[in-house]
Amino acid sequence: MTSEIQNQEALTANCEKEQLHLSGQIQNIGYMIVADADTLDIVAASDNISGLTGADPQQMLSLSLSAMDWLPESLLIELNSSPGSRAYAFNHYIHKERMHLRSFRAESRIIIEVEPARSEHSFSYAGNNGKFPGSSRDTDWDETDYWNHLLDELMAILPFHRFVLYRFSDDFSGEVVAERAEGGDTQYLGLKFPASDIPAIARQMYYENPSRLIADVNASATDLIGKDEETVNLTWSELRSVSPVHNQYLKNMGVCTSYSIPLMISNRLWGIVSCHHPTALPLDAQFRYEAEQSVRRFCSTYATYLSRRKLAMLRDYDDVLSSLLAQMTLTDDADEANQFFVDALKARYEASHVALRVKDGWYHSDQEDAFSQDLDKIDRKYRQDISDYILHTQSVRDIDGLGDITASQLRGLMTIRVSFERNAPRLYLFRPPEAQITNWAGNPDKNKQAQSGSNVLSPRTSFEKWTQVKGESSMPWSTGDILFAKKVRVSMLNLINQSHGNWS
């Protein structure tokens, strides 16, 4: 490995470690006051605070929040003791200027943020009377209907040029699964982005915040001025300054203003809605709040849809396996029953080969056993693995000790075992290698990107479609495949309990 690549990998690792919440700066679209949560004494203020209060930061440090007669009491009363607790006061007048205020608790601090109202009127979007459509049981919507409707609703609230719905994969790479843009100018639909585009530290911030606004990538940040060397924790701040790497990333995309809202499904970061504009876009805080509420309604409704779909899938799996087991019981011939079992599962999984190990014998979906040595080797390896009852891989050759398995029919593997006992039945389902085409938004290999003169990793400059083809592995095992495997395992346990097929 060259020193240049090593240096670039170190810079990439540093991106993951960047302490975004301790920047000591805010975006210059608003004002910030930081106070002690117990005494309400002001301990820090933004360098631009005189534009709001007429007092400079040093003067503010000698005051208390209780002296701010313009501050609504509700911003303090409605906060609870939990870090991240929030309160809002929209359309509040300060010195005859309409402002939007919010407060939040940050450990031992209470932080007040103030933004000028940026629209001529208060928010009035009626939407669907607080209810996201597609929530009834008899709807015929599929997932794309939900995604597209969410973006349509956000377009009615927010004035951005582009809206994309980005869904995370298990490895935290993601894909744009829905897109809306002025004039139908879609650019990213169907493209994938690597996990490094939204590093772990940034993903964690989405668990803490209902949205994230980057108001202007060309604007300078404003310093926080404090009494001592304390760096204020800005984890829950909407005004928090922007990472230099992400700022450059947006510039490379041709984006000046960015606004993103996390999609939390079952307490998990399922995806993000990202809104882009090519020029600086004044975005009213109340409109952002209403967009957050729209996304919350979507998440609640979509989670219900996913639950119903999963239940329907499980009922279907139960029906399939009940029918399979019923047909197996029609014969008293154990060999015939076991052969029927593997043949049926091969058809269900569209597998290249299925092998069942019962005691010391094999049953194969193909009558001619051309893989006996390979299967014995795979079986010995997996018999020693007690990490889980169901294991899967896209390539057995990636497993230590199985790199010499050459048969293409035995590439992707899912193994199902009923227990970790040595002679317990074990089922092996195989898939062949298959060409997998991934369309990326630009080349995702950041090692190929130059670093800037300031020793900060420079994000890629192109987001044009870049196609990657891999053909050494099988297609991935889907969530449905894994759920069905769990049901198959239950069926195998039932066969043992019934002493059928010579399994007990």
Domain 3-307: CATH superfamily, name plus number: GAF domain (3.30.450.40)
Q: Could you tell me the two tokens for 414?
A: 């899912």
Contact partners, residue 100, CB within 8 Å, separation at least 6: 88, 89, 90, 91, 92, 114, 115, 116, 117, 284, 285, 286
Determine the straight-line distance between the first and last CA of the chain, rounded to whole angstroms: 54
Structural contact between residues 334 and 372, judged by C-beta atoms closer than 8 angstroms: no
pTM: 0.85
Query: CATH 3.30.56.10: does it fit domain 329-435+475-497?
Result: no
- Residue identified by tokens 């490895």 is 171
Q: Write the Ramachandran bin of 234: left for phi over 0, alpha for psi from -120 to 50, otherwise beta.
A: alpha
SS (H, E, C) 228-246: CCCCCCCCCCCCECCCHHH
Tell me the HSE value of 91 on the side-chain side, using a 13 A CA sphere.
Answer: 9
**Domains of the chain: which residue ranges?**
3-307, 329-435+475-497
Answer whether 3-307 and 329-435+475-497 agree in fold: yes
Query: Cα–Cα distance between 426 and 419 in angstroms, integer?
Result: 9
Query: Cα–Cα distance between 25 and 220 in angstroms, integer?
Result: 10
Per-residue pLDDT of the chain (504 residues; tens, 9 = 90+): 444 444 445 545 555 566 778 888 999 999 999 999 999 999 999 999 999 999 999 999 999 999 999 999 999 999 999 999 999 999 999 999 999 999 999 989 999 999 999 887 665 555 555 566 665 655 789 999 999 999 999 999 999 999 999 999 988 999 999 999 988 777 899 999 998 888 888 899 999 999 999 999 999 999 999 988 778 999 999 999 999 989 999 999 999 999 999 999 999 999 999 999 999 999 999 999 999 999 999 999 999 999 999 999 999 999 999 999 898 888 888 889 999 999 999 999 889 999 999 988 899 997 656 788 899 999 999 999 999 999 999 999 999 999 999 888 999 999 999 999 988 999 999 999 988 778 888 777 654 444 444 444 567 777 877 777 777 899 999 999 999 999 999 999 988 877 655 666
